[in-house]
Amino acid sequence: MKAIIQRKYGSPDVLQIAEVKKPTPGDNEVLVRVHAVSLNGSDWEGLRGKPLYARLGGLRKPNNWILGSDIAGRVEMIGKNVRDIQPGEEVFGEMAGYRGGLAEFACTSEKLLAHKPASMTFEQAAAIPQGAVIALQGIHVKGNVQPGQRVLINGAGGSAGSFAVQLAKHYGAEVTGVDHAGKLDFLHSLGADHVIDYTREDFTKNGNQYDLILDVLAYRSPFDYARALRPNGSYFAVGGSVTRLLQLLLLGPWIKRRTGRNVGILAVQRNRTDLLTSMELCEAGIVVPMIDRRYPLNETPEALRYLGEGHARGKIIITVVADT
Ligand SMILES: NC(=O)c1ccc[n+]([C@@H]2O[C@H](COP(=O)([O-])OP(=O)(O)OC[C@H]3O[C@@H](n4cnc5c(N)ncnc54)[C@H](OP(=O)(O)O)[C@@H]3O)[C@@H](O)[C@H]2O)c1
């Protein structure tokens, strides 16, 4: 089968299209004929090998050469313990280990897949998994956003952020979106009430305070984030620098005891229930997967370059089968 491979960490130039062995599903796995893949910040990190957590699957070079986490396609074959999914069905979901999707076929755990509704294209379904589930858990499951609360989303113009802005508005919050100047109109179009250009203004130093901050990329000190929270407010980091994430883990409990403010990391629990809830929110039109651009599989390097250079508004789709 054809796949996009990276033998080493680096720029999009290290990516190649190559013929590789078609995977075989394990007992609890499903082999999917991939129709569409959506890109996330984690793909850019996995390509570069930065931050350090992006090298968990290979310190010097990636053990799994194929990037790609969010897929949608048709079931080709199932493992012997798979019960809920059958060959021929249309599914979408995530790759275990966030890799292996940018190929004609991909194997993943049954638990990370759900049935694709007929009303949705493969591209729309592929846009959902990682970004929408981060947003759902950050804004609703852990964030418990209530009407009238003030919510800030840092990194609001990307994959998870574009879902989070819409979801926070759905739950009745007053939403501030933070990203660079070129994405601020996009944030308004998602429903953000206020926008901040992170290249010009530091949201932790402007005197405003929030009930919830969902931070896609944490680069500041935990004390800065605590200062930007209302009493009893919560801050959740999704990704960012390893140093900052470790500081949050170590200092979070102490900050909580001293200030009552909750400062920590959102460790996303991947599960079919939240995947289905995210899909239902999209099907109902409450949340719209914002697809910026589509690229064919062989143009994945250009697609990742576009993402990594900071142009992507919402989701980038790789179309593997052109009839999607
Ligand atoms: N915690 C977990 O369990 C878990 C699970 C899965 C993924 N993740 C993490 O989630 C993160 C990616 O989220 P994503 O897919 O939404 O990423 P994304 O699509 O790349 O979006 C990130 C957004 O943040 C913006 N940005 C960059 N630097 C910024 C800064 N200093 N301040 C504010 N905004 C900034 C980017 O814009 P420009 O680049 O254009 O400036 C972009 O719009 C990754 O770090 C990934 O590892 C965490």
pLDDT band at 180 (very low <50, low <70, confident <90, very high): very high
User: Is the confidence at residue 248, as pLDDT, over 70?
Assistant: yes
**160-175 mean pLDDT:** 98
User: pLDDT > 90: what percent of the chain?
Assistant: 99
User: pLDDT > 70: what percent of the chain?
Assistant: 99
Q: What does pLDDT average to over the chain? A: 97
User: Is the confidence at residue 285, as pLDDT, over 60?
Assistant: yes
SS3 label, residue 212: strand
Q: What is the pLDDT of residue 20?
A: 98
Q: What is the pLDDT of residue 310?
A: 93
Q: What is the pLDDT of residue 322?
A: 83
Q: Are strands 194-197 and 29-38 parallel, antiparallel or unpaired?
A: unpaired
User: Is the confidence at residue 193, as pLDDT, over 60?
Assistant: yes
pTM: 0.97
Q: Among the atoms of ligand 1, which is closest to the Cα of residue 180?
A: 41
**224-238 mean pLDDT:** 97
Which amino acid belongs to residue 24?
T
CA distance 107 to 148: 43
Q: Among the atoms of ligand 1, which is closest to the Cα of residue 240?
A: 45
User: Is the confidence at residue 70, as pLDDT, over 80?
Assistant: yes
Indicate whether residue 253 lines ligand 1 (CB < 6 A): no
Q: Which residues, 6+ apart, have CB-to-CB distance to 110 below 8 Å? A: 28, 29, 30, 78, 79, 81, 82, 83, 84, 85
Indicate whether residue 46 lines ligand 1 (CB < 6 A): no
- Centre of ligand 1 from the C-alpha of residue 281, in Å: 22
CA distance 115 to 5: 28
Indicate whether residue 138 lines ligand 1 (CB < 6 A): no
Among 27, 38, 39, residue whose Cα is nearest residue 109 = 27
CA distance 161 to 313: 10
Q: Which of 86-90, 233-237, 238-242, 319-323 has the lowest mean pLDDT?
A: 319-323
User: Is the confidence at residue 91, as pLDDT, over 70?
Assistant: yes
Q: What single string gives the DSSP state of each residue in 11-76?
A: SGGGEEEEE-PPP---TTEEEEEEEEEE--HHHHHHHHT-SGGGGTT-SSS-SS-B---EEEEEEE
Q: What is the pLDDT of residue 278?
A: 98
User: Is the confidence at residue 324, as pLDDT, over 70?
Assistant: no
CA distance 69 to 53: 16
**143-170 mean pLDDT:** 98
Q: Among the atoms of ligand 1, which is closest to the Cα of residue 266?
A: 1
Mutate to test the pocket of ligand 1, among 38, 39, 40, 185 (most ligand atoms within 8 A of CB): 40
pLDDT digits (tens, 9 = 90+) for 291-321: 999 999 999 999 999 999 999 999 999 999 9
Does residue 68 come out as left (phi exceeding 0), alpha (psi in the -120 to 50 range) or beta?
left
Indicate whether residue 171 lines ligand 1 (CB < 6 A): no
Q: What is the pLDDT of residue 21?
A: 97
Indicate whether residue 198 lines ligand 1 (CB < 6 A): yes
In degrees, to the nearest 5, what angle opens at C-alpha 316 toward C-alphas 240 and 117? 110
Indicate whether residue 241 lines ligand 1 (CB < 6 A): no
Q: Among the atoms of ligand 1, which is closest to the Cα of residue 239?
A: 45
Indicate whether residue 50 lines ligand 1 (CB < 6 A): no
Indicate whether residue 217 lines ligand 1 (CB < 6 A): yes
Indicate whether residue 177 lines ligand 1 (CB < 6 A): no
**51-64 mean pLDDT:** 95
- Centre of ligand 1 from the C-alpha of residue 237, in Å: 10
Residue nearest to atom 13 of ligand 1 (CA): 41
User: Is the confidence at residue 323, as pLDDT, over 80?
Assistant: no
Residue nearest to atom 33 of ligand 1 (CA): 155
Tokens at 10, concatenated: 């680096």
Which amino acid belongs to residue 13?
D
Strand order of the β-sheet with 262-265 is 194-197, 174-179, 150-154, 210-218, 229-240, 262-265
Residue nearest to atom 25 of ligand 1 (CA): 155
Q: Is 108 exposed, middle or buried (0-12, 13-18, 19+ CB in 10 A)?
A: buried
**5-34 mean pLDDT:** 98
User: Is the confidence at residue 58, as pLDDT, over 80?
Assistant: yes
User: Is the confidence at residue 35, as pLDDT, over 80?
Assistant: yes
